[in-house]
Amino acid sequence: MTEYFIGVDLGGTNIKVGCFDQQMNLVAKTSVPTGADMGPEAVVERIVEAGNSLLKESSLKIDDLIAIGIGTPGPADYPKGIIIKSTNMPKFVNTPLRDMVASGLGNKPAILENDANVACWGEFAMGVGKEVTDMIFMTLGTGIGGGVVCNGELVRGVGGNAAELGHVIIYPGGRACNCGQRGCVEAYGSANSTAARATEAIQAGEDSSLKKILEKHREITCKDVFQHAENGDTLASEIVEGTAEALALMCVNMLHTTEPACVVFTGGMIAAGDALLTRIQRHFDQLIWILKKETVKICFATLGEDTGIIGAASLAQHAMQQGQI
């Protein structure tokens, strides 16, 4: 009998749901608006309806479903499957999301996990990390999220909130971070911080071709900074180098912490391609110790927009195999 798994990627705007077979081949997927303003019950109803719809579309019955994986933003009590609070879904307060979804889908075993961990697991299980046992995963966007796989298992920590890689301090006493700390890698290596540092420099009187962008649109994006750096703008180049150095420092620190086979970057910033990756690698090579040659691979993720549902379904399968659910 073929086993099937459902993976749910719950975001503040959209819910992605996928149905997978036991080889993690995608059978069917869908995306629906979250409707978070309507409250937890309405959101759960949408998840359940989407899951049942995918089963029906695939000529499957609820008995064919083995387990459900759900990825969600934190903070949450992941072992208990409860969302404690959510910035994007303010009506979710101490919401037992895992059990609510499971109840609507045949009371099948389910697991709730941080969305960054879920994406990390997807890339580990089915993407660029498929052949390794140890991997670091970093999402580069508005902020920086992360996940760590060590000896084939996610590193979760005592409260389930480990691997907040964006808030590792790389420059003590440095730029203020939204988390309340100073000098976090997120304050230097994220898309928002890249744009912010360029804006601050121009407002302080630095000369740059980005000044016209700021005057016209009243803001500078990370994409703007990378484009102007590639066109030879001195300030933009300095900002991009700073971003790459911050991320390289993080790679060095994580190498010495868990010794991964690969460090994988994903998120909107990787659209910069080699303009970002080669800089990170160059700074890494300059920063790393000389005691031995390192073989860690620094690369981009490969799964794209389906990472969340792949990771959620695959994590549910893994949890079943390990007797965790």
Question: Residue 188's domain is classified under what CATH number?
Answer: 3.30.420.40
Q: Residue 262: CB partners within 8 Å, gap ≥ 6?
A: 128, 129, 132, 135, 136, 296, 297, 298, 299
Q: Are residues 91 and 135 in the same domain?
A: no
- Single-letter amino acid, residue 315: L
Q: Look at residue 200 and tell me whether its pLDDT is greater than 80.
A: yes
- Record the pTM: 0.93
What share of the chain in percent tops pLDDT 70? 100
Give residue 2's pLDDT band: very low, low, confident or very high (50, 70, 90): confident
The reply to whether 101 and 135 lie within a common domain is no
Question: Do 297 and 168 fall into the same domain?
Answer: yes
pLDDT tier for residue 158 given thresholds of 50, 70 and 90: confident
The average pLDDT across 79-97 equals 92
Q: Mark whether 93 and 198 lie in a shared domain.
A: no
Bond before 79 cis per omega within 30 degrees = no
DSSP string across 123-148: HHHHSTTTT-S-EEEEEESSSEEEEE
Q: Are 110 and 21 contained in the same domain?
A: yes
What range does the domain containing 12 cover?
A: 4-122+305-321
Q: Average pLDDT in the 79-101 region?
A: 93
Quote the CA–CA distance of 165 and 168 in Å, as a whole number: 6
The predicted-structure confidence for 105-135, as pLDDT tens digits, reads as follows 999 999 999 999 999 999 999 999 999 999 9
136/262 same-domain check: yes
Domain count, the chain: 2
| Same-domain check for residues 51 and 141 | no
pLDDT at position 149, please?
98
Is residue 94 located within the same domain as residue 183? no
Same domain? For 79 and 168 the reply is no
Residues 177 and 251 in one domain: yes
138's tokens: 């970093």
Residues 176 and 254 in one domain: yes
Least confident of 88-92, 202-206, 276-280: 88-92
Question: Average pLDDT over the chain, rounded to whole?
Answer: 95
Q: Are residues 200 and 52 in the same domain?
A: no
The structure tokens listed for 174 are 């440095």
- Residue 284: its pLDDT value, please? 97
